Chain A
Amino acid sequence: MSDFASPEEYGLADLLCCAAAHEVQNNEVVFAGTGLPMVAIMLAQQTHAPNLKLIFEAGTLDGRPPEIPTSVGDARCEMGASRASGLFDAFSVAQRGYVDMGFLGGAEVDQYGNVNTTCIGDYLEPELRLTGSGGNPDINSFAKRTVFIMVHEKRRFVENVSYITSPGWRVKKWPGGELVHRRELYGAAYRGGPSAIISTLGVFRFDEQDGHMYLDTCHPGTTAEQIKEQCQFDLDISRVKGQTQVPTREELRLIHDVLDPDQIFIPKVKK
């Protein structure tokens, strides 16, 4: 019997972290980004997925850091790992097909799960240049599935992203740029694609056949209609299963007492 926390005991970051942890299965090889996803993966490791394997993009394979790294290049990544080396190892094992899932982020997403982390506005005349791709498109091309964690605002859930940094389910076929299902482009290397988006309002999934996004669960305090209103495209809300599972007291204890006691990534709710 799970001991679910009451609303005043957890914050939004706790909810997102636990929702992300629930996406991971035991025995999987997971490509970990920096920040909240790292806490989520280590939470999964401490709960239902003790045998998952972590890869840090900067060059650590099967990492078990005793203290949470602040970035994948961190000196903390190496201790306890099966192998610490470099980017060639991290990206070649990914391209080789070892990676089950990766956690990613983005500034904008469209209805097919195409994600932009490059620029806001026209690429040639940008309103704002962002960080750029990093490994986002690589992990999204190589992993069997990817999970995105994003701030939910209407300006971020858009009809068309300013720039497709990371490939979703329907992507551009060059030189013309018409949208095709990613299966057509990736051929023998097709392994899957984005499987969930965990936003600050709800959890979204994709229809693998036609590639469109649908709402799966609403976070406590939001309704499907409210979430649909916060998307520029016509969000499919016909398949909503109910509410996103809230954190248990044990999950909160692990997050705040064991994994991130210094609140580097996840602030503690003041009681």
Chain B
Amino acid sequence: MSNSKRITLQQTSEIIKDGSSLTFSGFTIWRRPMAIVYELIRQHRKHLHLIEVNGGSHTEFLVGAGCVDIWESCWVGHELYGKYGANLSRKVAEKKIIVEDYSHAEMLFRFVAAASGAPYAVTQTSLGTDIHNPEFDMLGRAGLRDGKRIAQHKYQFVDDPFYGAGAHVLVPAAKVDIAVLCVQQVGEEGTVRLNGQCYSDPEVARAADITIVMAEEIVPEEYLRRNADQNAIASFEVDYILECPFGAHPTGMFGRYDVDGSFLKDFYGATRTQEGFDEFAKEWIHGLDHVSYLEKLGWPKMLKLRANTAMNYCPREKKGGN
């Protein structure tokens, strides 16, 4: 086998196995690795454990398709285009998924801990809330806290032993098998350049055992190394790379294309029921590959979403509002 880190879209679903724990790049409806998410759904991946700083449209696709057994995070929805995660909500009501709730900062700090090799993070957020209700430790209730990949406790309280600043909460490092990223540029050796807000991408890439980077374009390493201070993730932190233009659609990508709000609105409206989800997946996922997906989407839509390269987004006068 060569040293190349390049893989195909189909190969991502061999690396991501049934039962893998996964995390993702991006933020709610921005820079989510949708082309890989669609491939996982096509390959009927099962029993996935998602551990996310925050969820979003990609979560709703995976959950709706029945790929996910456990979701550990703090939020799911489609922002302006769908006010909550209807698929997650339905699976929770049917008890087909275990949800472990943390706060947003707790999830972020859990990844910061994992990324720095620490067993836990300490914070003072969310004290006094039901996030710390001992009855609501859902992985504990399910008997899954083995102390290996899933921590022995959801959280622990500790009094500041150094400065006497009172109660703090310890939250366990997020130990996750695979981080799946969707970015603007990756080099042949794996160096990642992110543009715009980096969200929690550097932390999740470092925290995961395996990192897959799907980029709008693979560029020469030498090009990225000319301005190394602008790179976000080092080559050796990345295990696999692939090129997939428009791979984040319908989520947005800074500098490349905006969120496809009407697509997300349609998805949210159509997938309140399982039948609705299955219909949507039949139309937009099954039987398609990435190129035929883009063909179905069509050039007029893609041009409408395309960002202005000076502003890094698609100005509203071009779109006429959305």
Check B165–A132 contact: CB distance below 8 A.
no
Q: Which of B31, B75, B133 contacts A133 (CB 8 A)?
A: B75
Taking CB atoms and an 8 Å cut-off, the chain B residues in 14-66 that contact chain A are: 26-31, 53-55
Smallest CB gap from B54: residue in A: A134
Tally of A interface residues using CB under 8 Å:
64
How many A-B residue contacts, CB cutoff 8 Å? Answer: 217
Contacts of B109 in A (CB 8 A): 91
Among the listed stretches A7-15, A45-53, A121-129, A233-241, which one makes contact with chain B, having 4 or more residues with CB under 8 Å of it?
A: A121-129
In the complex with contacts A126-B93, A135-B103, A95-B125 CB distance below 8 A: yes
Interface string of A82-113 (1 = CB under 8 A from B): 00111110010011000000000000000000
Smallest CB gap from A78: residue in B: B196
In the complex with contacts A74-B313, A75-B255, A185-B127 CB distance below 8 A: yes
Interface of B is mostly: loop
The answer to whether A267 has its CB under 8 Å from any CB of chain B is no
Check A171–B129 contact: CB distance below 8 A.
yes
Check A58–B127 contact: CB distance below 8 A.
no
Q: How far is the CA of A262 from the CA of B320 in the complex (A)?
A: 8
Interface string of A67-85 (1 = CB under 8 A from B): 1001111111111000011
The answer to whether A130 has its CB under 8 Å from any CB of chain B is yes
Q: How far is the CA of A67 from the CA of B308 in the complex (A)?
A: 13
Check A164–B124 contact: CB distance below 8 A.
no
Q: Which of B92, B99, B104 contacts A91 (CB 8 A)?
A: B104
Q: How far is the CA of A142 from the CA of B132 in the complex (A)?
A: 17
Q: Which of A71, A79, A123, A126 contacts B28 (CB 8 A)?
A: A71
Contacts of B188 in A (CB 8 A): none
Check B99–A129 contact: CB distance below 8 A.
yes
24 of the cross-chain contacts (CB-CB < 8 Å) are A56-B197, A72-B27, A75-B196, A78-B196, A86-B197, A86-B199, A94-B105, A95-B123, A118-B130, A124-B135, A133-B102, A133-B104, A133-B131, A137-B125, A137-B129, A141-B124, A141-B126, A166-B129, A167-B127, A182-B127, A185-B127, A185-B167, A186-B127, A188-B166
Q: How far is the CA of A57 from the CA of B199 in the complex (A)?
A: 9
Check A264–B80 contact: CB distance below 8 A.
yes
Smallest CB gap from A167: residue in B: B128
In the complex with contacts A75-B255, A131-B84, A134-B104, A85-B123 CB distance below 8 A: no
Q: How far is the CA of A118 from the CA of B103 in the complex (A)?
A: 11
Q: Which residues of A contact B (CB under 8 A)?
A: 34-35, 56-60, 67, 70-79, 84-88, 91, 94-95, 118, 123-124, 126, 128-138, 141-142, 163-167, 171-175, 177, 180, 182, 185-189, 262-264
Chain A nearest Cβ from B169, distance in angstroms: 10
The answer to whether B231 has its CB under 8 Å from any CB of chain A is no
Q: Which of A71, A78, A86 contacts B200 (CB 8 A)?
A: A86
In the complex with contacts A86-B202, A137-B126, A67-B157 CB distance below 8 A: no
